[in-house]
Each structure stands twice: as structure tokens, then as C-alpha cells.
Structure 1
Amino acid sequence: MAVTVPSLLRTRQPERHGRSQRARASGGTPCVLIGTDTYPPDVNGAAYFTARLAQGLIARGVNVHVLCQSDEGPPGVEVRDGVTVHRLRSMPSLVHATLRLTVPAGTRGHVEQLLRRLRPDVIHIQNHFIVGRLLLSAARRHAIPVVATNHFMPENLFNYLHVPEALRTAIGDLAWRDFCRVLRDVEHITTPTRIAAQLLLDKGFQRPVEAISCGIDLSRFHPSRDAGTTEGGADEARSRVRARLGMADRPTVVFVGRLDEEKHIEDLIEALPQVLVADTQLVLAGTGSQRQRMERLAAEKGVADRVHFLGFVSHEELPLVYRAADVYAISGTAELQSIATLEAMASGLPVVAADAMALPHLVEIGRNGYLYQPGDTGELAKYLTTILSSPEERIRMGEASRAMAAPHDQANSLARYERVYRDVSHSHTH
């Protein structure tokens, strides 16, 4: 929920200013300005992480503001889900149907005014593009330390930018060199997993990189609590959820995320006819540029009646999608962590995942699921069959998934970020 507050900065600024000074002097909670090029209502992992981070920090008593692009065009200030969000003037993206981009011209003055009024102890940027660069430059002028979190992989942009396959390696190398140049002087850099941290080092970043999980809300994502302690009770609970979501009541493989090129949804659809458990269905929750192509592929493979496109799922109903499933499958090859996979694990689902990027970080083969070679749909189908054909295996792996997801409780991530903010703020003033 968003509430427009045109004069918020003017009416509240004296309080913010004083609190920031006390934070510097006493080592208390700092004032944090989070900058990002994507924020709800945008639908993507970086936007959701940033919103959860801001909301979670505010719930812990941290003084947080967010700077991002306007979701409608004109600049303004609003309160969204308890977070004060400062929106910069934006324009439609030429390569993405829903994403808007900050208009750089004329924004420096807005950023300067905001920093003078808030006087943040720390700036936390979520990317190195338009808003990130604006804040990096301003932070240096105002001697404010910067924390950066990386959600970037060139592969996630190639489809939108229509980069030819033959040029992707060269353009990817250029993009990584730009990344290293822009963020080389930040005080602290984080990324969601150790694998993602090692990727930055392999791409030439020459500073220490800390892995901090994006975190998940274990109070929202959990197995159905009305399932009882038997498999029969779990089956009944799943049946009720499927009916609520308009799904057929049959063995269910689920994927949650964008239906875009780097997600390789075709693996999941092409594997479905090879799954040896009768009437297995694939449920895809999300939107994206590849939906129509995937619908055509499902028809070509003769499984259109068993591929269910849920489309966009609301925040409130998302936990139900996982509770409707028997197993979670993910075929993406450019995941820096995969929050959706963690949510599925917390919900008690076994996982079959592509053996690519950070996904192996979430799967212990034979314990909570399996890894398959990207593109090998026969192998994917074999593992899905193994799990779906054995209720005992499914329960055992689901319990292991839940246990493995527990350390990713967002409370742990929020506490670590608070410590990072205090540390960089303290070291910057001494």
C-alpha cells in the first residue's frame, strides 16, 4: 500500500537530522539511505529483496529511506508498507514492458537536497546503474560511506537487450569490467552466497566480498499447519490449497519466478512428458517475456493440459503456491541465490535444480533433492519421477529442505546488515 506524502521531508527533517548526529556520536542505530533502480511495484528478485530489507530494518527500529525511480513518471515521496520512498523522475524502458528508468538529467539536485536533509550515516546501493552511480558520486562529495549489494549478472539482461549470442561473451566481459571500476572504492560489498562472492573475484573485483543471504520469512513460508502428522493429512491439505488456486488435484511440480530466457523454462516443459508418474502437472507462477513461447512449446509437446500458468501471484497467496506442490523445480542458469528456492525449501519441498551458478549451494544431492545438468531433460525427469513416486522420500527430503532453509531466516540477515552499517559508519568517522 502506498500513501503519497508530498511534504514529508520538510515536516520531518529536523528529527532525522538530529537522530543521525546522535547515531554517529553514540554508536547507535544509523540512518540508512537505500538506493535502487528497481523497487515494488516492479516484479523481480532485486526489487523484492530491497523492499524486504527496508521493511525489516524499519521493524527493528532502524531509520531507513529508499531512493528509486518513479513507478509512474513524476518525482515524489510516498510511504509504501511503512517505508519512506523517494521517487526520482522516470521514463519507460525501451527494452522492458514494465520497468521504468530514472531520468539522469536534473536528478543531481534532487539527490543533493535529499542528502543534506537526511544526512544519512550510510548509503546502501543495490546496483551500479543509474541510481547507484548517482548516489556513489554524491556519497563521495558528502563523505558518506557506501555499502553495495550485487544482484547483477549480464546474463539477466541479454534477452531484454537482444544481444546476439555471438557477442554475449565480449559484452559480458565489458559489463564486468565496468562493474569492477564503478564499485572498486565502496567501503563494503556483499552478495547473497559464497558462490556469488567468488564470481565477483573471478571477474576481477579486487576487494573482499561478504556473502549475506537475502533471507526469507520463516513465519510465512512453512508447510501447511493443518496437514496433521500423516501423509494422508498432507494430501488433504494440498488438495484444499489446489482447489483454492484453481489447480487440478494431481502430482504437482512447481516453479516460481520470471518466465524469461535465462530461467530456461523449456527444460521443465520438455521434461514433463518424460516423468513416469501419471498425470503429473507443472505449475508456473510468474510473468515474463517467454510465456507465449512456453505455451506454444507445451502444446507442441502434448502437455498443454498439464502445464498450468498461474501468472502473477500476490504477496498474500504466494505461500499457498508452495503448499500446493509436491516438489519444486528450477532450471535457471543465472541465479545468485534464488529466494524462491529457499521459500520452497522452507515450505517443506524437495528440490530438483539445474547444476548452475548458486543453485548447488541449496541442494545436497540425495538429502533434500537432486541437481541435473542444464538442458538434460531426461535427467531432470528421472529425478522428478524418483521424488514423486515415493511419498516417504518426498517427506524425508522436504524435512531436510526445511532444516537447510532455517539458517536463512531474514532476522539473521537483517542483524548482519545492521552490524555492517554500524561498522562502516564508525570506521568512516575515526
Structure 2
Amino acid sequence: MTSAVRRSPQEGKPRLRILIGADTFWPQINGAATFIARLAAGLAERGHDVHIVAPSYSNEKLGQMVEEHEGQKMTLHRVYSWKWPGHPWLRFMLPWRVMHNSRIILDRVKPDVIHFQSHIVIGRGMTLEGSKRGIRLVGTNHFMPENLLDHAFIIPRFLRKKAVRMGWAAAGRSFGRAGRVTTPTRRAADYLEENTLVRDVISVSCGINADGYNGNLEPKPENLIVFLGRLSDEKQIDRLIRAVAILDPALDAKLEIVGGGELEGKLRALVTSLGLDDRVTLTGFVDQDQLRDALQRGSVFAMPSVAELQSISTMEAMASGLPVVAANAMALPHLVHDGENGFLFEPGNVEDLAEKLTRVLTMSADEVLAFKKESLAIVAAHDIQRTLDTFESLYRGDEVTDPAALGKNTEGASF
């Protein structure tokens, strides 16, 4: 569900035909796919003609079709793809097929702007063919080659560093074709600039419809720790489970892990081996109502991930009025202000994570209330309508200043 339409700085201007190139999209569930759906729905709600090029995950439904996402109808162009060996959701296409599909789709749609969400497969084809046609290109980076290589078992470990460099070089080539490049946070923008020749990257929050979450400030009846997200290696959920195992039994703390993924079986086995079956629940994939219910019941949100370029899950928890304990890594410190709306812990340090969780669970009611209110205040700066305003300006070629350069606290993805 998107926020109610408000007056936009772009109101009254001609509508745009926007083509979004996505290497991941529904039915896959991850931060990038969620952002793309919400962005597309918000743009469609504002009257734009939105098209999305995305993989077909069954290869049965191919070509152009109308789909509904986040309550809005949009045109999908599903292309033939294969599963990337060892990766939970990434699909790939043969280079000549990508170029062929890109040519056909661009000549059919004739977009005013192409907004590509990664450089890996579809983004590469769209930027190459879009450049030939003189179409405005806007790129957003959600990915780190290091994360992709964690699943690339076909690449020997001694070649990983070289492969990472090649991955960043490929990213630099695709994003170098764009007129403007964005990432969800300033830290992610700096990271992209450090590893490529791309410059003047601006940070634009993925945004969240905070109105869709109930900022519950009431005391909770139990000490429930909640994690929300895909169950993958970089999330380091095993550390969270081990931290719960060493919490003081007197806290009677429980952990609810909301989401599914390739590690679900291993994590269930870990829970059993630690004797935590009565304290740790893994829900698997759930719908939005169940997700919101878990956040409403929670006392504290935990995000142990070391690879968040923003973290939509953390923003959803904050919009629900939760204090947060998060790893002091990548972009999470933009959302979690240590000692104000939660605590940061040393990445991978189980003992430190347990200690920070204990601090939240043993705070006075007044201290918890202050943390909750600060979470709501921080996440308010990530209103999805601000994100839509910014991208509309970028699509039209208007000058956009990075919010971080203005000294505003508007930062805070990945997937």
C-alpha cells in the first residue's frame, strides 16, 4: 500500500513513460525487489506510465503483461532467464539474448527515461541499448559484488579478490553510462565511488510508507526480539540465535525470525542444537499483515547484518515504534543512532549483541518510550513521497542536491 497522494513539486507537468530495469522482482522477496515495487506503485499512483523489465521465474509467462503490485497496475516485460548457480534469487540471461530483448522492449515502449536497478544483467542491456537511443539513464545501486560471490561456488576462493574487482569494474561501466546515479545512503554512495570511477553519486532513501505501520508506544507484555528479512549469509542470523542462547534466563526472552530463505533449514537445526525450540520461532515467508503483527508484538528489533546498503526491514521496525539493536556496519548507523533509538554492536560479536539486547530489555519504561519516539522521528525523514519527488526530478533532468550535502539527517536498504 502506498501513501495517499499529496501535492508534488512535479504536479502539473506532463506524465512520463518510465522503464525500470530490474534483475530481481516479484515473486522474489528482498530489499531491492520491495523498493522497486513501491517505487513503481508510487509513480503509477501519480499518473506516470510505468513499465518494468524483469526476469520470468517460471519461463512460462513471457513478454508484455499487466500486473498489480502494491495496489497499482503496471506493465511488466518478463524475459527468459535461468537460475544463477548457488544463488537464492539471481537470474541470468545469455548476453546476446539480453541485448535482443532490450532492443525489442525499448523500441516498443519508447520510454522517456530508463531507471536501472543494477548493472548485472538487465541493467547492462538497458544501458547499452538506451545509450544508443539517447534515452535518459538513471541508475540505482543495491548490490555489492562481494555478496554475490558468496554464492558463486564455481569461482575458487583464491580468485575471489580478482572476481570482486571485475564485478566492480562491470558496475563502473554500466553506471558510468547514466546521467545520474543514486544509492540508498551516503555510505553506500561512498562505497560505490571508492570502488569505481563513478562520481557525484547521490543518496536517495528507498523510502517507506510510515502511515502503513502502527507506531505502538505501549509497553509489551513479553520480551520478544524480532528479526525481519531474507535468511541469507550476510544477515548473520546465526549470531543472533547464539546471542539469544546466552541471554539471562530471567529475562524470559524469545526470538521471532520473520522471513524465509536458503538458510532456513540450517538455522532451524542450529535452534534445536542449542535447545532453543521453545524460545525461537522461524515463521518462513509471511504476508504483510503477519509481518506487521510481528513488529507490533515485538519489544526490540535486531539486525545483525553486515551488508545493508539501507535496510527496509529496519525502517519498517522503526515505523512500528521499535528500538533497534544493529550491527555497526555499512549503512545501519544512519538509521540506528547509538543510545538514542537503539544500540550498535560490534559486527559478528555474539557477546556484544547479547549485551546490547539485554540493555534494551532491562531499560525503564520511560527510557524505552524515549527510544521508541526517536525511532519514529528518525524514520519520518524517509517518507516514500520524498523519494518519489526526488526520482521524478531526476527523471526530468532537474538538478538534485544530495540531502547529505545539506546536512539533513535523511539517510538510512540492501536487500
**For this structure pair, what is the TM-score category when the shorter chain's length is used for normalisation?**
0.7 to 0.9
Conservation of the 8 A alpha-carbon contact between 2:116 and 2:139? yes
After superposition, the C-alpha distances for 1:246-294 in whole angstroms (9 at most, x for unaligned) are xxxx311011111111111111011112223522111111112222222
Q: Indicate yes or no: 2:191 matched with 1:208.
A: no
- Distance in 2, matches of 1:355 and 1:106, equals 42
- Residues 14-413 of structure 1: pairs in structure 2 closer than 5 A: 28-74=14-60, 75-81=62-68, 82-97=73-88, 99-162=90-153, 166-224=158-216, 231=219, 235=221, 250-276=222-248, 277-390=250-363, 391-413=365-387
Conservation of the 8 A alpha-carbon contact between 2:52 and 2:75? yes
Query: Shift in Å at residue 349 of structure 1?
Result: 0.4
Q: Which runs of 4+ in 1 moved over 4 A?
A: 163-167
Conservation of the 8 A alpha-carbon contact between 1:282 and 1:308? yes
Secondary structure, counterpart of 1:66 in structure 2? strand
Conservation of the 8 A alpha-carbon contact between 1:220 and 1:319? no
Structure of larger gyration radius: 1
After superposition, the C-alpha distances for 1:393-412 in whole angstroms (9 at most, x for unaligned) are 22221111011000101011
Query: Shift in Å at residue 98 of structure 1?
Result: 5.1
Q: CA RMSD in A?
A: 2.1
Q: State, as a whole percentage, how many aligned pairs show the same letter.
A: 39
Using the size of structure 1 for normalisation, the TM-score is 0.84
Greater RCO, 1 or 2 (C-alpha within 8 Å, sep 6+): 2
Query: Shift in Å at residue 105 of structure 1?
Result: 4.1
- Distance in 2, matches of 1:98 and 1:206, equals 27
User: Structure 1 stretch 311-320 or stretch 55-64: which is displaced more?
Assistant: 311-320
Residue identity in the other structure for 2:348: G
- Distance in 2, matches of 1:230 and 1:272, equals 24
Query: Shift in Å at residue 182 of structure 1?
Result: 2.6
- Distance in 2, matches of 1:91 and 1:60, equals 34
Conservation of the 8 A alpha-carbon contact between 1:363 and 1:370? yes
Conservation of the 8 A alpha-carbon contact between 2:208 and 2:382? yes
Conservation of the 8 A alpha-carbon contact between 2:53 and 2:78? yes
Conservation of the 8 A alpha-carbon contact between 2:235 and 2:307? yes
The structure-2 alpha-carbon separation of the partners of 1:319 and 1:158, relative to structure 1 and needing over 3 Å to count, comes to: same
Q: Which runs of 5+ in 2 are unaligned?
A: 1-9, 400-415
Higher helix share: 1
- Distance in 1, matches of 2:300 and 2:318, equals 9
Q: Which runs of 5+ in 1 are unaligned?
A: 1-22, 236-249, 426-430
- Distance in 1, matches of 2:157 and 2:97, equals 36
Secondary structure, counterpart of 1:183 in structure 2? helix
After superposition, the C-alpha distances for 1:155-174 in whole angstroms (9 at most, x for unaligned) are 32133213565544332222
Query: Shift in Å at residue 423 of structure 1?
Result: 1.4
The structure-2 alpha-carbon separation of the partners of 1:52 and 1:318, relative to structure 1 and needing over 3 Å to count, comes to: same
Query: Shift in Å at residue 138 of structure 1?
Result: 1.1
Query: In structure 2, what is the equivalent of residue 3 of structure 1?
Result: none
